[in-house]
Amino acid sequence: MKILLANPRGFCAGVYMAIDVVDQLLEICPNEKIYVFHEIVHNRHVVQRFQQRGVVFVESIDEVPNGAIVVFSAHGVSPAIRLEAKAKNLAAIDATCPLVTKVHAEAIRYARKGFQILLVGHRHHQEVVGTLGEAPAAMQVVESPADIPNLVIHDAEKLVYLTQTTLSLDDATIVIKALKAAFPAIKEPPVSDICYATTNRQLAVRAIAPQCDLVLVVGSANSSNSVRLTEISINCGTPARLIDDCSEMDPAWFVGVETLLVTAGASAPEDLVHDLIEQLVRDFGAEVEQHDVCHEEVEFGLPGTLKTMMRSRNIDPSDRRIVRGDEGEQLREWFAKHEIPFRIVDLTVAGVTPKN
């Protein structure tokens, strides 16, 4: 069997930042309970690992004691949640991904200008719930073209659409085309709201999956961008399985599989991908090639709320910048240590690194 590893895969800049926020809090507040509103990122292993270190995940601000530390997850929260936290005098640390905050800011700006906003996304996803909360009277959610006839539009000349950051590019294109057909004057966001990480992981699957017999996506079932990767693969004609980790693999899936693509959603830790490869190499004698479709250089600094808390505790935030290290080098070292033959195939268009 040949394993093709998609690059990019796994953690994005927003997930690195959100996880780092909780890591830093555990370090600087060793004697205080850290509460996180909603899963910090949508990954079962990430959440369980933090739970094992004492972090408490809550789905309601009521569950957080007055005056405690609460972290808002990478998906963002609505202003109503911020107000609830303020009313309880919580030390709120905002780990919302800046690319989600950008969509919130667009919603606020268009609502102030008197626009109606059509938010393309999944109605119950945490990110959509948070964005919707910025201007509930001005916004309606559109999940598919079937929702369009039910929209209540006051002035088709004052309409804009925004999107959830983690949509499938294919699905979003279908919905946006239908919106443009129904409302030709609809405005679009200045820059696509679908983030660079979602775009790049989908591009990689679209580029590599057609040459494969099966695609394995490491990620959790509630991770929007992980689910989208399986859908993209299936749209390309290649069957795909979404798994939390290698323990969920079934040997029957690999009968007749000569080329396997392995990728991971933006919230899935890389060590889970390593475990998977180790097991596949053990069971099938697989050889491994990483196919680089593009390189990412996006990084986010610590959120302002965390820096403020650090300063209030006489900790200099400038010493605590997130340092990710050379991931390419770390990967080579891992393969060398495990004596697994490995090579990189560079499929990038020289110098092109998609960014938000």
Of residues 7, 24, 166, 233, which one binds ligand SF4 by CB under 6 A? 166
Please give the order of strands across the beta sheet that includes 34-37: 56-58, 34-37, 69-72, 91-94
Burial of 293 (0-12, 13-18, 19+ CB in 10 A): buried
229 contacts ligand SF4 (rule: CB under 6 A):
no
Query: For residue 105, which of 96, 125, 159, 309 has the smallest C-alpha distance?
Result: 96
Q: Is 208 within 8 Å of 178 (Cβ atoms)? A: no
Question: By C-beta, is 13 or 309 nearer to ligand SF4?
Answer: 13
Of residues 5, 12, 242, 280, which one binds ligand SF4 by CB under 6 A? 12
202 contacts ligand SF4 (rule: CB under 6 A):
no
Catalytic residue among 39, 84, 106, 127: 127
Least distance between ligand SF4 and beta carbon 98 (Å)? 7
Residue 278 falls in the annotated catalytic set: no
Radius of gyration for the chain, computed over Cα atoms and rounded to the nearest angstrom: 21
Q: Is 95 within 8 Å of 72 (Cβ atoms)? A: yes
Q: What string marks each residue from 47 to 86 as x (binds ligand SF4 by CB under 6 A) or -?
A: ---------------------------x------------
Least distance between ligand SF4 and beta carbon 100 (Å)? 5
220 contacts ligand SF4 (rule: CB under 6 A):
no
Cα separation, 69 vs 66, whole angstroms:
9
**Number of residues lying near ligand SF4 (CB under 6 A):** 15
Those residues whose C-beta lies under 8 Å from the C-beta of residue 171, and which sit 6 or more positions away, are: 228, 231
User: Distance between the two ends of the chain, CA-based, in angstroms?
Assistant: 36
The interface region with ligand SF4, picked from 8-16, 140-148, 289-297, 302-310 by CB under 6 A, is 8-16
* Residues near ligand SF4 (CB under 6 A): 12-15, 74, 97, 99-100, 165-166, 195, 197-198, 225, 266
Which residues are annotated as catalytic?
127
